[in-house]
Chains A and B, each alone.
Chain A
Amino acid sequence: MTTETATPTVNAAKASARDAIKANVREYGLIIALIAIMIFFQIMTKGVLFYPVNLTNIVLQNSYIIVMALGMLLVIVAGHIDLSVGSVAGFIGGAAAVLMVDYGFNPFIAAVLCIALGAVIGGVQGYFVAYMKIPSFIVTLAGMLVFKGLLLWLLSGRSLGPFPVEFQMLSAGFIPDFIGPWTLVAPTLNANGGPTPGTGIVLHATTLLIGIIIVALMLFFALKSRRNRESHGYEAEPFGFFIVKNVVMAAIIMFLMYKFASYKGLPNVLIVMAILIAGFVFLTKRMTFGRRIYAMGGNIKAAALSGIMTERLTFYIFSIMGALAGLAGLIYAARLNQATPKAGLGMELDVIAAVFVGGASAMGGIGEVAGAVIGAFIMGVMNNGMGIMGINIDWQQVIKGLVLLGAVAFDLYNKKKA
């Protein structure tokens, strides 16, 4: 009643740089927080954090969390929760081990079967949530217990491995260097005539090339969308701000690519993650499917009366979550090179924390894929940094818990102020 302004200003004067920064602070606040945390640990670990090998490690350590956070974002935006994903991931990892190690399945076929099984598991839980109207908290709590038990049964309490080499490559492999290594500074030779590790600068050229392509594509699409807005007569952010923003983004991407290139190049699992992240950003931002999820999470009754098949949509969301939990289970198993009865234990909490740190609302209807991914990295970098610093696991937990609470409280405070 009171917050209404009466003058339409759509095509009003171009937004000033200050407005643009204001509008973007919220959007980029998370990235800035992540960068700040990385710099903090870079200093606290005396430069270890940004070692190429450590950056690669951070990606590998968090890959399965991020893969599941993508699905969890959809679930949470839809107004639900999935507590079963850790158990499901563990169970699928066990199933993969049984198929490949015990029965000698082809790794590729086994992987496809496992992801499909994950989708079915998610679908069954989704059925109970969507059609039987049982709260997702209860359904997935049951699922968590069931699959934790099934994993123990499946492995009969033992660890199962090792996996075929091709399967290990999912988590341990790096993309091949098609162009060949690019030696900037030749490493010193050791007694055997081989290069001494840690000397010289030899870069993974394909990784650098991919970095350049990504930056080029990013700039191309940013410019195109800006042109598009302008040609339709809508205001765009000031050109100077636009330039600074994109140059900073490009610099960050190239910096990371350079780091990866000076180790072994891009990990395979990062490629899988990148494709999934891009796909989910597109799904949530540009596709009708994604839009309907936000509409449903915002007001399910209004969504249903607008013709959205809310039950079917919920069913699909849980199926997708299940498939991603399956994939995450494979990545985790491949990383350990064995399936263990304890795999996946408590993983769901990391996944859910990542999504909430990333700005999603527990009430549904609000949340972004990019936020969830950055949220996962914030938690991941803290794990990694505190580990290097030698902080005990007990205090690590305390600090992570406080960061989760603080992040959400800060977000709510900001929203209230706005």
Chain B
Amino acid sequence: MSDYILEMRGITKVFPGVKALENVNLKVRRGDIHAICGENGAGKSTLMKVLSGVYPYGTYDGEIYYEGKECRFTGIHDSEKLGIVIIHQELALVPMLSIAENMFLGNEQATGGMINWSVTRKRAHDLLRKVGLREDPDTLVTNIGTGKQQLVEIAKALAKDVKLLILDEPTASLSERDSQALLDLLLEFKTQGMTSIMISHKLNEIKRVADQITVIRDGQSIETMEREDVTEDRIVTSMVGRTLENRYPHRTPKIGETMFELKNWSVHHPIHPERQIIKNVNLTVRKGEVVGIAGLMGAGRTELAMSVFGRTYGVNITGEVFLHGKKADTSTVGKAVKAGLAYATEDRKVYGLNLIDHIKHNVTIANLPGVSSKAGVIDDMHELKVANEYRRKTNIRSSSVYQITGNLSGGNQQKVVLSKWLFADPDVLILDEPTRGIDVGAKYEIYTIINQLASDGKGIMIISSEMPELLGICDRIYVLNEGRIVGEMEAAEASQEKIMRAIVRGHAREEQLEAAS
């Protein structure tokens, strides 16, 4: 047997009009964690779909050797039979089924069509322990968080006797802590001899766990490097094909008077109104300032933003919003927009875009009066001009403004969401995880847009789980923990340690408060 568990040779995959992969070569050593990185649209996911048989043999050119034998998969079943399991970026769990049911979906512990529940539970229990998840196998998936769901996916893969585990951006929607746990788990599997392929954008993660890194750019494999040779600069240079001196574009802040102020803001959980989700939050955003909201998953950052923006989250909301020193009514989305607020959501596919419509209609939807007469008649030419203008401004890469947004890459979708809110011309923009799941190059472009907005005199509030990002682009950072502001610092004086310390102190204080009450 060779050292290589997998070899893909000269893979070329053509879609109508687009060459997604061109002569890609990939060699994965047995027992390694092999990282694949590349910009969005580079072809990473396509390559993995070729490998797992989603695109069956015959629809691509090239050869796949697994365990030294050539493989011609006709579907995902064939690859799974050999122990190649792929965990997709978007989790494929059924929310209203239990953990155990999900783990054995399509692979049921059954004889003659009758499910053996005691075996199912027993095996689920064992596998859950293996991935370090302490949950009852009968718990519904909808009742556990994203981090735990990811672990269920991995347990599901283990249930299929996985030999080669492929993870497509496994930490994209995980908090810092869950991500670390997941990476530790991968390292542990490695000691047990499992091979993994990990697609990731996060360079620090890659550096931490990967033994070899293959970079893919524009559908071609650029290079494969050993762990020892890896530097962040080298990966980035090879990914984007040019050197990015700085991952965060420079901006000289010109900060003016206070624009947005939140006073004594409290919000309760919509289903369990006795639970207070946001606790007496006070914060300000000044003109030309980029303010970050740091915090762990579940700290209440999105809930805070949504409760302010048209009360789209929560009940029993108390507190006041001030814009330009005057009390503002933001009780509906319409009123919030009129008052000068905009909120670009965390999940652009679910909450941000009409994916079956084209760019033009998506850009103008939050400000239709801006392209129509008083009577509500849309000026088609004006709308087209606006859409083209914002497409250029935010550098959306598409064939035209008539491209369906569902076919765009994550980075370009995010630019459409930004365009939509820029056209609504707000004074204060709240951006919730604006760079989640998008590649380094597109991130840089998003940061550039944010900088441009700040220098145009807008106030910007950024919610992000990536602390280096907050430190890189913000002027000031608030730390939110369990619904309470537990720290505020100038970005120049802030560091990841300081933020984490504020969170830990916040936890301790919260426990004291609970004990006292």
Contacts and interface: CB of A to CB of B under 8 A. Distances in A.
Interface of A: 1-10, 228-229, 232, 234, 286-289, 291-292, 294-295, 298-299, 301-309, 361, 365-366
Interface in B404-452: 407-409, 412, 420
B300 to A, nearest CB: 18
B333 A305 contact: yes
A232 B386 CA distance: 12
Interface in B322-337: 332-334, 336-337
Contacts of B18: 2-5
Given A4-B18, A287-B377, A298-B357, A308 B408 contact: no
Given A232-B381, A295-B357, A298-B357, 9 more contacts: A4-B409, A7-B399, A229-B381, A286-B380, A288-B372, A288-B376, A292-B365, A294-B361, A303-B365
Interface in B349-366: 350-357, 361, 365-366
A295 B361 contact: yes
B253 interface: no
14 contacts: A1-B45, A5-B399, A7-B399, A10-B388, A286-B380, A289-B376, A292-B368, A299-B350, A299-B354, A299-B355, A306-B333, A306-B365, A307-B336, A365-B357
Interface string B384-400: 11001001000001111
A365 B354 contact: yes
Contact of B350 (A7, A301, A306): A301
Contact of A4 (B350, B377, B407): B407
A235 B73 CA distance: 45
B368 A2 contact: no
Contacts of A366: 356
B376 A232 contact: no
A307 B15 CA distance: 37
B279 to A, nearest CB: 24
Contacts of A305: 309-310, 312, 333, 343, 345, 351-352
B75 interface: no
Contact of B355 (A9, A229, A298): A298
A1 B356 contact: no
Contact of B376 (A1, A228, A287): A287
Nearest to B383: A291
A5 B404 CA distance: 12
Nearest to B219: A2
Contact of A307 (B40, B333, B352): B333
B463 interface: no
A359 to B, nearest CB: 13
B357 to A, nearest CB: 5
Q: Which 4 A-B pairs have the closest CB atoms?
A: A298-B354, A2-B20, A306-B366, A288-B368
Contact of B378 (A4, A5, A7, A286): A286
Contacts of A302: 350-354
Q: Which of A298, A302, A303, A308 has the most CB of B within 10 A?
A: A302
Contacts of B350: 299, 301-302
Contacts of A308: 333, 365
A307 B335 CA distance: 8
A228 B379 CA distance: 11
Given A295-B361, A298-B356, A288 B407 contact: no
A343 to B, nearest CB: 36
B366 A288 contact: no
A52 B343 CA distance: 59
B365 A295 contact: yes
B41 interface: yes
B376 A234 contact: no
Contact of B400 (A10, A287, A304, A365): A10
Q: Which of B17, B369, B400 has the most CB of A within 10 A?
A: B400
Contacts of A5: 17-18, 397-399
Contacts of B292: none
A366 B404 CA distance: 13
Nearest to B392: A8
Contacts of A289: 376
A5 to B, nearest CB: 5
B165 interface: no
Contacts of A10: 388, 400-401
Contacts of B352: 302, 305
B137 to A, nearest CB: 32
A228 B384 CA distance: 12
A363 B365 CA distance: 20
B457 interface: no
Contacts of B314: none
Contact of A291 (B20, B43, B361): B361
Nearest to A229: B381
Contacts of B384: 232, 234
A152 B168 CA distance: 61
B353 A1 contact: no
Contact of A8 (B337, B400, B408): B400
A7 B380 CA distance: 24
Interface string B13-40: 0010110100000000000000000001
Given A4-B398, A302-B352, A307 B372 contact: no
A225 to B, nearest CB: 8
A15 B380 CA distance: 20
B238 interface: no
Contacts of B284: none
Given A1-B45, A306-B333, A307-B366, A294 B412 contact: no
A232 B389 CA distance: 13
Interface string B225-241: 00000000000000000
B400 A9 contact: yes
Q: Which of B40, B351, B391 has the most CB of A within 10 A?
A: B351
A288 B375 CA distance: 9
Contacts of A299: 350, 353-356
A7 B332 CA distance: 39
A4 B45 CA distance: 14
Interface in B446-503: none
Contacts of B368: 288, 291-292
A295 B334 CA distance: 15
B224 interface: no
Contacts of B351: 301-302, 305
Given A232-B381, A234-B384, A299-B354, A288 B369 contact: yes
A288 B41 CA distance: 34
A369 to B, nearest CB: 16
Nearest to B344: A305
A286 B356 contact: no
Contacts of A1: 40-41, 43-46, 409
